[in-house]
Amino acid sequence: MEHTYECDNNGSIKGKIRSGGIAGTLTDSTIENCINLKSIDAFTEGTYTNSGIIGGLVGRASNSSIINSSNEGNLEFSGYSNIGGIAGTASNTSISETTNKGNITGDFIVGGIVGTADNGTNISGTTDTDTNVGSVSGISYHIGGIAGRLKGATISNVINSGDIKGTERAYQIGGLVGCAYTGSSIISSWNHGAVTITHNSNTTYAAPGGIVGILQNSEIKNGGSTGKVSTNACSASAIAGILKDEEEFAKSIISGVVINGDISSNYPGGAIGYLQSSGATLQGLTFTDDLKIENIDKIIGKIIGLVAAPQSITIENCYINDNKISDDNPITKEHIGSGISYLTITYL
């Protein structure tokens, strides 16, 4: 039986596992026109394992809808995973026209709207309203302005304006999504927040992206990022910090994305920070002088920052300023920061 709830929460909440401002678990139900006004704090008494799945509205949502609702409370959970401004996790769930205004903190899998979105979940917004305005931070992997992790899920027409920050051992952090994999889609969405990793070692996985930290067998279509993307470690990019496809799934496509902003790292790249697999396509992209790229002490790549092993890529209908990239006007060393000799390119 499906249930619909309309309510506000103005009371104090402490949680450890599957906790939310409105509901701990939401199944086959709808939350509409609800607001959480209070911060949610960690319940520190007793001993628990697998702590997490905490949301400003819902801890765990499945087969449900969350509509026109918002969170204004901060969520600060050191040592926790799957923390989201609206939901900790969402499976086969629609989240539409929601807003998070609270600051969200966790260890790993942390998002301004949802920690993990999977199994066909769709997160959608409107082009004139910020979806997330709160800061999002973590000390480990999969941190994003909208979602920490997308698996077979979609975000569309969403906007992040909150700053995204990773510290200590953080990696795979993005302005919109930390990790998008297994057929996920990021469509017509924008990041305007700063994305920063301050890492305690120079790991190649500490590669922030203006849109996504790591893209695997998924697509990014239209939209863009204007926020500064920086790290003291390996690579950074205006779009994808790392692109790493698995062989058994369809290859990633990045198409129609506006490339601008400000990038700073050891191996910065305009579209991809670190290319780690073959078969992806860049389609309908324009690399202009509006993109500001700064290297710490290494080499700059206007398109890709680092290729460290033999890989291939297709470049279709892409431009550098007004010049189409083609067999007659190919990519050169100034476009690939390091490793152009490893790269096989097909021009369409």
Q: In which domain, by residue range, is 239 found?
A: 3-347
Give residue for tokens 């939310």. 20
Sheet holding 122-124, edge to edge: 3-5, 29-32, 65-67, 94-96, 122-124, 154-156, 185-187, 219-221, 253-255, 280-283, 311-316, 343-347
For residue 247, give Cα distances in angstroms to 22, 98, 141, 276, 291: 41, 35, 23, 12, 32
Look at residues 19, 22, 105 and name the one whose alpha carbon lies nearest to residue 57. Answer: 22
340 φ, ψ (degrees, to nearest 5)? -60, -30
Q: Which residues contact 248 (CB under 8 A, 6 or more apart)?
A: none
Tens place of pLDDT per residue across the chain (348 aa): 466 656 777 766 666 678 898 999 999 999 999 999 988 876 555 444 456 899 999 999 999 999 999 999 999 888 889 999 999 999 999 999 999 999 999 999 999 999 999 999 999 999 889 999 999 999 999 999 999 999 999 999 999 999 999 988 888 999 999 999 999 999 999 999 999 998 766 666 788 999 999 999 999 999 999 999 999 878 899 999 999 999 889 999 999 999 888 999 888 999 999 999 999 999 999 998 888 888 765 567 899 999 989 999 999 999 999 999 999 999 998 899 999 999 999 999
- The total of structural domains in the chain comes to 1
